[in-house]
Amino acid sequence: MSLLTKLGIWARDLFRVKQSERELDAELRFDVAQRVEANVRAGMSREEAELSARREFGGVELTKEECRDANGARWLQDVWQDVRFGARMLRKNPGFTAVAVLTLALGIGATTAIFSVINTVLLRPLPYADAANLVLIQNTYASATVANFPKVGLSPGDFFDWRGRVREFSDMGAYSNVSGGFNLTGMGDLQRVSAAYASSNLLSLLGVHFIAGRNFGPEDEKVGGARSIILSHRLWQSRFSADPGAVGRIVNLDGAGYTIAGVLPADFSLVRGADLWMGISQFDDDLASRVHHDFTTVARLKPGVTLAQAQQEIETLNHQALRDFPDTHKNFGVSVEQLQDPASAKMRAPLLVLMGVVLFVLLIACANIVNLLLARNAVRRRETALRAALGASSSRLVRQQLTESMLLAFVGGILGLALAWIGFQILARLAPPDLASVKAAGLHGWVLAFAFGICFLSGIISGVVPAFRSVKTDLNSVLKEESKSSSSGSSQRLQGVLVVSQIALALIPLISAGLLIRSFRRLMSVDPGFRTDHVLTMEAPQPDIPFAVANKMTVAQFLKLSRRQALEFEQTAARIQSLPGVLRVGGITVLPLASELRSASRFVIEGRPIPDAGVRPVAQTRTASLDYFAAMQIPLVEGRVFSPTDWTETNAVINETMARRFWPKGDALGKRVNVCSLDPQPCWSSIIGIVGDVSQFNLDAAPTFDIYYSGGWPRYFVIRTAANPAMLTAAAIAEIHKSNLELPVAQIQTLDDLLSSSVAPRQFSMLLLTIFAGIALLLAVGGVYGVMSYAVSQRTREIGVRVALGAQQRDVLRIVIGRGARLTLAGIVVGLAASFAVTRYLGSLLYQVRPTDPVTFLGVPILFVLVALLACWIPARRAARVDPITALRTD
Amino acid sequence: MNPIKTDLLQGTLDLLILKTVALGPQHGYGISLRIQQISRDALQVRQGSLYPALHRLERRGWIAAEWGDSENNRRAKFYKITRTGRRQLEVEETNWERLAVAIAQVLKTVES
């Protein structure tokens, strides 16, 4: 018989249990009736006949039982029966059930929520065709490493050269997002848009399906060729009302016309910030350059080619390039790695830590269920023993127990999914913008399968020990026992072990959370180098001067232009400053606490030996307005800040770290540095002042060397106000618009907001870890409380005897709390040892706090002990109040 | 002759049942009666073995059950042999004969 037919019969039987029972009954009754009739015919009296027939037949119930066994559907019927029985038992103990279900719901919900995020962020492949074969090719710094940015893109020269020569790759494309952006004019409001540049094959190599239009063509790679752009889905919707007819239209960017060639799909996330893409020929640099590493290179491996083979080939190409261009290639290595979403890569560490923590939470929850079931089974021992005595096989009893814990787990699981869903709503609201992918996480597909698996596992884990223990009990002694029950020594030991492991398991996330909280406090106590309160910032960029135009300008022309721009900025700033409530207005090209590398240069110092190009130190270069330092309250350490005369001279202000590192004797003023190419001739600038250090990147980033220049248009307005800065937004924008410069205003935020969004990812992981550690603490302490309460209720009689014999309340308290304290301390010792071994995996999540930070390793256990003692104290007090007379009368 | 009340080998009981229902549809009581009659009271099948065996054979698809009216007009569950059951009967008969011959052979050897 085929499996399908069998399943069919089982299913039919399962749903017709009652009917098949009736049939079986009828069949056997018929047999007995026939016998009776035969006996009557043989001459017996009716009574005799019936008696004899029953004797002949033997045990009807036993026969029925065996017939049911012979029917294959037996186990399914049993399961059904067990489920109904289990549900009845759970309904009978609503308190127990509620606690157990809630505990499991917390564990399962937390695990499911985090898994769902992991599923979305780490496990989901990139939204490109056959993403497993896509790799990222980068240059590495062979010797000196640049803090925060250890890898860079390829140079345009290398990219075009290598693309034509690779054999292990089926295609190789590049993009660059080094762009100040463009002012989009002509349709509606003036808008600032950011552009990225793509080689013509990049989008087809990724397998992007265009919503409308087409990809770039070969003519888009020729300098002076076609000027096409491809719109992001976002810009297409906001600016072109999602009109497919936008394709073919001409738009005006910084005064030049570009034809819309196509529209990208919504899920395209390469260079998230890019509003539109341009052909690589529009890239503002020399496409034969081997100096600027601006081309992020993505390539597709030929089928069967390994990463190692690919790496080998690129290394060979790099060696050849080194022979041909020793100056530019001396200090660069290459790396080939799997392409991944950079935002995902950033979240990997915190997510894995969180997953570990929620698994601990789940285990603690399961241990609680084990304890609850053990306690309840102790009460139900007589019932179990009775069923065993009446012939229930031990495997049947185990199954019954497992069914019950499974039922708890699945009801808990359903509630857990609800909790996870609520958790998501909160998570999505709390998630910082660059962790936006968290919002895409949800409860579907694999996540539900995972939750199902976790429920099943929890059911097994929490049911198996109580089940086997309940079977092991000695029937005779249980049934003979007069008293309701008193838990045996071995069961007390088991509960002790469970409590100890719960505490140990909870201590690890608590200590981790403690370390993260301390890291975050350290981070928040870092002085960013400027006052963040009462400052409004906004970006109002002028169109960039095209590279080709700038290249042809003489130094005199360039200075004249930058003086004009600086003057325009100061005039606008003066108008804003005249607004009531405004204290100081400054400008800067890149705001501090930047999330990406925007403007940096290698530099050399006059009169010192000139290092090789690749090992020259890197400085962050900024253009500041006259009042920038004052508006930001960045202290002047030495010398002076900029005055209008510096617009026509090349003078520079540097930061303290740079001064101390390169002029330790304090003689930096008046020295000259160069950030331009040395060929044909350097452009020296004299140091006129030294200002305090500023966190140019995150608060936890290593200090940078900073060089400030003056002259030119510094894009960002920095407005220090007397009162709430946000209230001045509209007035400040109005003043900028009055300047007749046709400037788009964007990125309006206060410095306080900027600061909090720069620490948001850390804060987010700290917050989540703390929440889960709190749940772990709650569950573990709940476990301690449960076991102690149970122990007290079991020992009421004993305590009564002690009190009757003269024990004081104090003594009783000591007995109960003593046991609780011993268990807690044992758990803490184990937990501390485990934490020592584990916390180093927190790695990059910590900031200036060692993984074995003594304050945390001391403070958290003390806190834990206090809470646990409180949990013991409640049952202890109940024990101390035991009235000996009632206690001795019970049972 | 004392009836054999020992537990028959499971396969043997199956063989007897298959053979009996092969003679025509019969209810459980009828099957046990017929085995008893044909064996001239030598074999008595206990109900505690018969009914589980019937359910087992039904589950295997060798016999099929149908409710019908008995000789005295009571509702009874009649079993009849199926096509696969008939094939199985042939196989079992051959096996049994081979086994009987083999056992007889062994017994003779021991006696001589």
Helix axes A446-472, A342-379, angle to 10 degrees: 30
* Secondary structure class of A284 (helix, strand, coil): coil
Q: Do both A155 and A50 map to the same domain?
A: no
Within a domain: A90? no
Within a domain: A86? no
The domain boundary, picked from A711, A744, A777, lies at A744
**Structural domain count, chain A:** 4
List of residues 6+ apart from A116 with CB closer than 8 A: A420, A424, A441, A442, A443, A447, A450
- Neighbour count for residue A673 (Cβ, 10 Å): 24
Within a domain: B3? no
Distance from CA of A34 to the nearest CA of B (A): 7
Cβ-defined contact of A57 to B72 (cutoff 8 Å) = no
Cα A656 to Cα A708: distance, rounded to the nearest angstrom? 12
Q: Report the relative pairing of strands A716-721 and A582-588 from DSSP bridges.
A: antiparallel
Q: Do both A775 and A825 map to the same domain?
A: yes
Q: Do both A211 and A338 map to the same domain?
A: yes
Cβ-defined contact of A1 to B61 (cutoff 8 Å) = yes
Whether A792 has a pLDDT exceeding 80, the answer reads yes
pLDDT digits (tens, 9 = 90+) for A258-290: 999 999 988 787 877 788 999 888 876 677 888
B5 or A25, higher pLDDT: A25
Q: Do both A583 and A719 map to the same domain?
A: yes
Within a domain: B1? no
B 44-103: CB under 8 A from A: 46-48, 51-53, 55-56, 59-61, 67, 70, 72, 74-77
- Maximal CA-CA distance, chain B: 57
Cβ-defined contact of B51 to A66 (cutoff 8 Å) = yes
Q: Do both A418 and A407 map to the same domain?
A: yes
Q: Do both A422 and A435 map to the same domain?
A: yes
Within a domain: A488? yes
Q: Do both A27 and A16 map to the same domain?
A: yes
Distance from CA of B69 to the nearest CA of A (A): 11
Within a domain: A120? no
Residues present in chain B in total: 112
Reported as a pLDDT band with limits 50, 70 and 90, residue A859 is very high
Domain housing B14: 10-111
Within a domain: A735? yes
Q: Do both A518 and A548 map to the same domain?
A: no
Q: Do both A317 and A369 map to the same domain?
A: no
Q: What is the per-residue burial (b if ≥16 Cβ within 10 Å, else e) of A376-400?
A: bbbbbbeebbeebeeeeeeebbbbb
pLDDT, residue A302, reads 92
Cα B31 to Cα A152: distance, rounded to the nearest angstrom? 89
Whether A21 has a pLDDT exceeding 50, the answer reads yes
* CA nearest neighbour of A512 among A762, A778, A851, A763: A851
Query: What does each C-alpha distance from A821 to A10, A779, A793, A869, A870 come to in angstroms?
Result: 54, 17, 18, 7, 10
Within a domain: A750? no
Within a domain: A105? no
Q: Which two tokens stand for residue A588?
A: 């800067």
Q: Do both A158 and A234 map to the same domain?
A: yes
Cα B37 to Cα B40: distance, rounded to the nearest angstrom? 5
CATH code of the domain containing B31: 1.10.10.10
Q: Which two tokens stand for residue A496?
A: 């002790």
pLDDT, residue A35, reads 85
Closest CB to A67 among B52, B60, B67? B52
Query: What does each C-alpha distance from A131 to A121, A128, A263, A464, B64 come to in angstroms?
Result: 15, 5, 21, 43, 58
Q: Do both A27 and A174 map to the same domain?
A: no
Q: What is the per-residue burial (b if ≥16 Cβ within 10 Å, else e) of A746-782?
A: eebbbbbbbbbbbbbbbbbbbbbbbbbbebbbbbbbb
Whether A642 has a pLDDT exceeding 70, the answer reads yes
Mean pLDDT of A214-231: 85
Cα A118 to Cα A613: distance, rounded to the nearest angstrom? 42
Answer for the pair A588, A653: CB distance below 8 angstroms, yes or no.
no
List of residues 6+ apart from B62 with CB closer than 8 A: B14, B18, B81, B82, B84, B85, B88
Cβ-defined contact of A30 to B28 (cutoff 8 Å) = yes
Please tell me the least confidently modeled range out of A6-15, A248-257, A504-513, A826-835. Answer: A6-15
Q: Do both A274 and A325 map to the same domain?
A: yes
**Structural domain count, chain B:** 1
Q: What 8-state DSSP symbol labels residue A178? A: -
Whether A64 has a pLDDT exceeding 50, the answer reads yes
pLDDT digits (tens, 9 = 90+) for A539-576: 988 877 766 677 677 778 888 888 999 999 999 999 99
Question: Is pTM beyond 0.80 here?
Answer: no
Whether A470 has a pLDDT exceeding 80, the answer reads no
Query: What does each C-alpha distance from A649 to A205, A451, A672, A708 come to in angstroms?
Result: 48, 67, 13, 13
pLDDT digits (tens, 9 = 90+) for A742-784: 788 888 999 999 998 888 888 888 988 999 999 999 999 988 8
Nearest CA in chain B to A59: B48
Within a domain: A111? no
Distance from CA of B110 to the nearest CA of A (A): 38
The domain boundary, picked from A298, A316, A344, lies at A344
pLDDT digits (tens, 9 = 90+) for B25-48: 999 889 988 888 888 888 888 888
Domain housing A710: 541-744
ipTM at complex level? 0.85
Amino acid at A812: V
Within a domain: B5? no
Nearest CA in chain A to B51: A67
